[in-house]
A = this chain, B = another copy of it.
C-alpha cells in the first residue's frame, strides 16, 4: 500500500543536510539559517513528506491521542458530549479514540489494559457502566489506569477516586421538576425510570424521592429496566394498570427524553391527552424534544459544555496543580407544553 515510505533520512540526504536539521525545519525551530530552511522546505514539498507521528510519539512519550469512554454513541446525550470533546481536542492537535463500554458492564482490567497499551494521553469517562454494584473494585481498577494517564470524569463523582470531575447536578434538576409539578397542583406524581444501572439514573431517582419526601407526597415508582422508547411505551400501560382509579398519577417524571418519547406514544394509544389529563416531563433536552406533540418539558444537562470543559481539563491535566476537583453545574428546567404549565396559565388567566 504505502510504497511512499519516505523517511526523514531520505529528505536529509537529498537536501544535503542531516536529519536533525530537517527535523528542526519541520518543527519551526528558530535556529535554522533561512537559506537552509528554504533548501530543506523545497525537498519536503517536492516529495510531500510527512513525518511519522508514531515514531515521534515513541520518542516524546505522548501519542497526542485522547480516549473517550461511553456506553452508546447512538444516544444523543453521549453523541453531544463526544462531539464537543472531539472538537476541543482537535483544536489542540489531539485526536480522539472511541471506546465503548456497554451500559450494564463494568470496567475490567482487560479494558484498562487496552488503554494503557495504547499509551493514550488521557481519558474522558462519561458514565454508563458505573453502577453501584460494580463500584466496589472500580476505584482500584481506575487507580491503576491513573498511574499511566490522567482521568477526567463527566458523570456523578465516583467515590474513592480522586480526579477531575465535571458534571451536571441531576439530582437538584429533578427536584426542580418535581417542585414545578407540585406548584402546578399535582399531588400524585410518578417516576418512570431504569434500575440503578448507571449512576446518573440513580441520581435522578434520588432527586425525585428526596423532593417528594420534602413535599410530604407519596412517591409512585416504576423502576425497571427501561431505557428505550419502546420500553417507555409499554411501561405506561403497566403503571396505570397497577396504579389505577383515584390512585392514578396525574404527572409523570420520565428518566430521559428517549423514554419519554415512548411514554407519549403510549399515552396517545391509551387515549390519554397530554398535558390535559397527564403531565409529562422528561430529562436531557434532546434535539427532538422540542418537536414532540406536545413539545416536551425537560431538563437541560448541557452535554456539549461537559464535553468541552472535560476535554479542556484533560489537556491541562499535566500542568495543572489542581489534580483533583469536582465541579457541579446547575441543570436548567426547560418548560414547554407537556407539563401543562402554559395550559395552567391559560386557566388562571380565564379564572381571573
Contact = CB atoms under 8 A, between A and B. Distances in A.
Contacts of A53: 117-119
A73 B86 contact: yes
Given A2-B148, A2-B149, A229 B116 contact: no
Copies in the complex: 2
A283 B231 CA distance: 24
A82 B90 contact: no
Given A72-B83, A82-B73, A287 B54 contact: no
Contacts of A149: 1-2
A80 B74 contact: yes
Nearest to A68: B98
Interface in A11-61: 48, 50-55, 57-58, 61
B2 A287 contact: no
24 contacts: A1-B147, A1-B148, A1-B318, A2-B61, A2-B147, A2-B148, A3-B147, A52-B58, A52-B117, A52-B119, A54-B54, A54-B57, A73-B82, A79-B79, A83-B100, A86-B100, A95-B97, A95-B114, A97-B97, A97-B98, A98-B98, A229-B287, A261-B291, A292-B293
Interface of A: 1-5, 48, 50-55, 57-58, 61, 63, 65, 72-74, 76, 79-80, 82-83, 86-87, 90, 95-100, 113-114, 116-119, 144, 147-150, 229, 233, 258, 261-262, 264-265, 268, 287-288, 290-293, 318
Given A258-B287, A262-B291, 20 more contacts: A2-B149, A4-B148, A48-B144, A50-B117, A51-B117, A52-B58, A52-B117, A52-B119, A54-B54, A54-B57, A55-B58, A73-B83, A79-B79, A82-B98, A83-B100, A86-B98, A86-B100, A95-B118, A97-B97, A229-B287
Q: Sort A-B residue pairs by CB-CB distance and give the 4 closest, nearest first.
A: A293-B293, A261-B291, A53-B117, A74-B79
